[in-house]
Amino acid sequence: MNSISRLSLALAASLALASGLATAQQFPTKPVRFVVGAGPDLLPRMIAQELSAEWAQQVVVDQRPGAGGIIAAETVSKATPDGYTMLLTTGAYTLHAVVMGARLPYKLERDLAPVTLVTVLPVIVVANPSLPVKTLAELIKLAKAKPGQINCAHAGTNTSSHFGCELLKASTGMDLLSVPFKGSAAATVATISGETHIQCTVMQGSLPLVKAGKLRPLAITGAKRSAQLPDIPTVTELGFASADYHSWNGVHVTAGTPKPVIAQINAAIVRALKQPHVQQRMQGLGLEVSGNTPEEFAAFVKADIARWARIAKQTGVRGD
């Protein structure tokens, strides 16, 4: 490459950087769309409210349910890469990358750019109160005495709760019957009614039901016990570290969004997560508040895909 070509490339890079910086300094000058797939919209609305106040621009939560969040992800992957379209991502997206792979209409690490990890969601093993067990050890004993007679409700084939049931089986040696439902809400209703015996579900949705006595907590995942349920042990401290998994929430934007714009969105979200009233509300839902850099979040996503791949291999669960 001659000196003129090198000079041209350097000039182009400088102009691109300058353009990105200028864009970031102006961002946002119009409403921002926050696309959400499956799941409760409380968390994205909390974030949207904080960002709207800081940016003096409306952040509109755009719900695109269907296909476990795939429709929402595809929408954002094809949006203009300018930061005005954000996506609430979850652990379902890294699971999709493992069980669906090339059949997805987008590629997570290629078509979506990470902004920040927002929260980590512990998973809780809950039982119908009529089941004669109060601890995970008692559940294991009962299940081994009645092989194939204790069932585990989950949100459908190849969902994280399906993997949770299979992982619990593989880690503890229990012979559980895995029962699919159309969504986590239906699985929870079945467990409350006694149609099914246990469920592995995120704490965010199950915590109010646990506190109301409609579900009995047996164990949780995560590095430490939950402040909301301090008497409930983790699966790791009970000797089943291989049963430890979690879900999470994060924010991505369309790949190709200028890095200065991503940095600005990241900074605003991290500031919002540090607000005491935001932390209090999230912790009340059983969420562990995070907030990291785009680079750290990218590494987290990569590691999570590898984790689901290991779980798939360990449990023998494969995509359809």
pLDDT digits (tens, 9 = 90+) for 32-84: 999 999 766 789 999 999 999 999 999 999 999 888 899 999 999 999 999 99
Percent with pLDDT over 90 in the chain: 68
Report residue 234 as tokens: 């983790």
Q: Which two tokens stand for residue 90?
A: 């979850």
Residues with Cβ < 8 Å from 99, sequence gap 6 or more?
158, 308, 312, 317, 318, 319, 320
Whole-number CA gyration radius for the chain: 22
Helix, strand, coil percentages, rounded to 5, for the chain = 50, 20, 30
Domain spans, the chain: 30-121+246-315, 122-243
Which DSSP letter does residue 234 get? B
Which residues of the chain fall below pLDDT 50? Answer: 18, 22
Domain 30-121+246-315 belongs to what topology? Answer: D-Maltodextrin-Binding Protein; domain 2 (3.40.190)
Task: Give the pair of three-digit tokens for residue 85.
Answer: 């379209």
Residue-level pLDDT at 288: 86
pLDDT for the residue 3: 54
- The sign of the dihedral angle between the CA atoms of 13, 111, 315, 237 is positive
Q: What confidence score (pLDDT) does residue 110 get?
A: 97
| Predicted pLDDT at 45 | 94
**pLDDT the model gives residue 10:** 52
Closest CA to 33 of 58, 10, 70, 50: 58
CATH 3.40.190.10 holds for 122-243: yes
The pLDDT assigned to 318 comes to 66
pLDDT of amino acid 68: 82
